[in-house]
């Protein structure tokens, strides 16, 4: 390899995130050079259909000029200002107002950060702040779910339930606990209905709260549809039963809408799809169609009142980020929301979703596919060694990665999460492009199956 080639310099200088670094030193990876609608092109000119919208985020695809124009205009007008020390700027005010108007349940205030991780990190701090303010400082334990994903800061990865992201980082922090994973297909008992499984999941949460002591449990964090866990949709009645437990023990509920927010599930919010009533909502990704790093934490009145009380007591709300509410990111997010409304993106998702979900479900007849489920434009496909007995592959076989690689050879980017293949294409995907995506996926599955038979 030429030492000056992009690949050689990449290997020489860059640390890739969520990557096997030792293998990367030998093999390198793919460098993207251009975007065009739902497609991206690498620096060798190879084009791929991006069925993950990058990291579940490029909702308007990879070439929306209006967002570039919005950024440029704001860069010329006011390229930077902050919201510290009683100062601010109009784009952040406009965006906060819009988010409060759009919120799925009444929310009082918006606090901006640069990433989903920071939004959840902030929410964890506010759970502690709130309970200190109301005189219950011992109510500080935080519950997430096995295989939940809420980010990679020290606290947000602690509430996530991703073993490989805490291993040898001396995490999770003390005081973080995880309740069961609601993957009905994988973890239901033979003959157990979805409703019975959901009852068992809610019971497991209640048992955990009782074991830890309800007076010590401050909050529960969850994604309406679990993304990083493998695009896992909740079983029937799950959310009503989980929320009843949270209400019973006065546990705050933080809905992580970082993936689900802004149309992904066929409604503006996952909270609307599943009738969730959270105390706080974190969102990011599709908030700016991923063209700028920005996240928002929507804060309900109960928590906001506590923030006011603490601020009166301490003289300051002692929290903030230099780039939180960055005006360029706010301007891009405002334009993103305008495009969603003008193009009826939520309606579009509802219209194309049946082609997406039915097309994937039809692949359950493929010898590798045990189950394919989703909602709106998010879905997970579970690969199985033996479908009849629901026996998974040996993880050492890395069958998920094999399918992911075979799809890449077809020109399709999907994501293997263990042996689940996740799909979250840009929300602008057309029915014809869904057909193309399914065709490439089928070919990728066939190629993986052939490789396994030959092995």
Ligand X SMILES: Cc1ncc(COP(=O)(O)O)c(C=O)c1O
Which residues would be at the binding site for ligand X (CB under 6 A)?
Answer: 55-56, 115-117, 120, 149-151, 223, 227-228, 256, 258-259, 284
Full strand arrangement of the beta sheet holding 420-423: 369-375, 378-383, 420-423, 415-417
Are 297 and 219 a contacting pair, CB within 8 Å?
no
Are 296 and 111 a contacting pair, CB within 8 Å?
yes
Q: How far is the CB of 337 from ligand X (least distance, A)?
A: 18
Q: How far is the CB of 341 from ligand X (least distance, A)?
A: 24
Residue with smaller CB distance to ligand X, 52 or 399: 52
Q: Can you list the alpha helix ranges (DSSP code H) found in 103-193?
A: 116-133, 154-159, 163-166, 184-187
Are 200 and 124 a contacting pair, CB within 8 Å?
no
Q: How far is the CB of 226 from ligand X (least distance, A)?
A: 8
Q: How far is the CB of 366 from ligand X (least distance, A)?
A: 27
- Class of residue 144 by CB neighbours under 10 A (exposed 0-12, middle 13-18, buried 19+): buried
Q: How far is the CB of 264 from ligand X (least distance, A)?
A: 11
Q: How far is the CB of 294 from ligand X (least distance, A)?
A: 9
Residue with smaller CB distance to ligand X, 144 or 359: 144
Residue with smaller CB distance to ligand X, 17 or 170: 17
Residue with smaller CB distance to ligand X, 258 or 306: 258
Q: How far is the CB of 17 from ligand X (least distance, A)?
A: 9
Residue with smaller CB distance to ligand X, 115 or 158: 115
The half-sphere exposure of 421 on its side-chain side, counting CA atoms within 13 A, is: 34
* Residue 380 vs residues 281, 305, 424: alpha-carbon distances, Å: 24, 40, 9
Phi/psi of residue 376, nearest 5 degrees: 60, -120
Are 201 and 189 a contacting pair, CB within 8 Å?
no
Strand partners, 34: 41
Residue with smaller CB distance to ligand X, 287 or 437: 287
Q: How far is the CB of 214 from ligand X (least distance, A)?
A: 26
**Do the strands 217-222 and 252-256 form a parallel or antiparallel pair, or are they unpaired?**
parallel
Q: How far is the CB of 365 from ligand X (least distance, A)?
A: 30
Q: Which residues contact 126 (CB under 8 A, 6 or more apart)?
A: 280, 297, 299, 303, 307
* Residue 414 vs residues 125, 347, 410: alpha-carbon distances, Å: 34, 24, 11
Residue with smaller CB distance to ligand X, 93 or 165: 165
The half-sphere exposure of 413 on its side-chain side, counting CA atoms within 13 A, is: 21
Q: How far is the CB of 386 from ligand X (least distance, A)?
A: 31
Strand partners, 50: 413
Q: How far is the CB of 55 from ligand X (least distance, A)?
A: 6
Q: Which two tokens stand for residue 85?
A: 């020390």
Within 10 A of 71 (CB to CB), how many other CB atoms are there?
20
Residue with smaller CB distance to ligand X, 151 or 425: 151
Within 10 A of 196 (CB to CB), how many other CB atoms are there?
14
Residue with smaller CB distance to ligand X, 228 or 376: 228
Residue with smaller CB distance to ligand X, 56 or 253: 56
Give the C-alpha separation, 189 to 180, whole Å: 14
Residue nearest to ligand X (CB): 116
Residue with smaller CB distance to ligand X, 55 or 385: 55
Q: How far is the CB of 329 from ligand X (least distance, A)?
A: 12
Taking alpha carbons only, the member of 112, 299, 143, 330 closest to residue 219 is: 143
Give the C-alpha separation, 293 to 287, whole Å: 9
Residue with smaller CB distance to ligand X, 2 or 322: 322
């Amino acid at each position: 390899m030429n030492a000056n080639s992009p690949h050689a310099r990449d290997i020489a200088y860059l640390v890739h995130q969520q990557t096997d670094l030792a293998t990367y030193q030998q093999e390198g990876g793919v460098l993207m050079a251009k975007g065009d609608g739902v497609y991206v092109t690498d620096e060798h000119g190879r084009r791929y259909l991006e069925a993950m919208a990058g990291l579940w985020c490029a909702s308007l695809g990879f070439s929306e000029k209006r967002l570039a124009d919005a950024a440029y205009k704001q860069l010329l007008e006011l390229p930077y200002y902050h919201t510290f020390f009683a100062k601010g700027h109009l784009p952040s005010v406009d965006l906060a107002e819009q988010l409060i108007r759009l919120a799925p349940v009444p929310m009082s205030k918006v606090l901006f950060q640069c990433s989903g991780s920071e939004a959840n990190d902030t929410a964890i701090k506010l759970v502690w702040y709130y309970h200190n303010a109301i005189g219950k400082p011992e109510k500080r334990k935080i519950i997430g779910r096995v295989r939940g994903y809420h980010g990679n800061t020290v606290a947000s990865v602690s509430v996530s339930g991703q073993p490989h992201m805490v291993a040898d980082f001396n995490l999770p922090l003390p005081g973080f606990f995880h309740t069961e994973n609601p993957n009905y297909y994988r973890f239901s008992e033979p003959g157990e209905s979805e409703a019975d499984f959901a009852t068992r999941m809610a019971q497991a949460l209640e048992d955990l709260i009782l074991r830890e002591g309800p007076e010590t449990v401050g909050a529960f964090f969850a994604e309406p549809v679990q993304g990083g866990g493998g695009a896992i949709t909740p079983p029937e009645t799950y959310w009503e039963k989980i929320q009843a437990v949270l209400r019973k023990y006065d546990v705050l509920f933080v809905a992580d809408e970082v993936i689900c927010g802004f149309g992904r599930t066929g409604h503006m919010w996952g909270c609307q799809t599943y009738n969730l009533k959270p105390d706080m909502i974190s969102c990011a990704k599709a908030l700016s169609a991923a063209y700028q790093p920005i996240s928002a934490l929507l804060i309900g009145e109960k928590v906001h009142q506590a923030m006011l009380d603490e601020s009166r007591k301490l003289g300051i709300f002692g929290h903030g980020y230099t780039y939180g509410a960055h005006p360029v990111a706010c301007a891009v997010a405002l334009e993103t929301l305008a495009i969603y409304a003008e193009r009826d993106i939520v309606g579009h998702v509802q219209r194309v979703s049946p082609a997406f979900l039915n097309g994937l479900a039809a692949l359950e007849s493929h010898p590798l596919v045990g189950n394919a489920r989703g909602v709106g434009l998010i879905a997970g496909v579970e690969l199985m060694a033996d479908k009849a007995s629901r026996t998974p592959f040996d993880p050492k076989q890395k069958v998920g990665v094999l399918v992911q690689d075979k799809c890449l050879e077809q020109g399709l980017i999907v994501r293997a999460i263990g042996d689940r293949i996740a799909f979250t294409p840009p929300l602008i995907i057309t029915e014809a492009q869904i057909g193309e995506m399914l065709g490439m996926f089928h070919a990728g599955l066939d190629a993986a199956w052939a490789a396994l038979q030959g092995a």
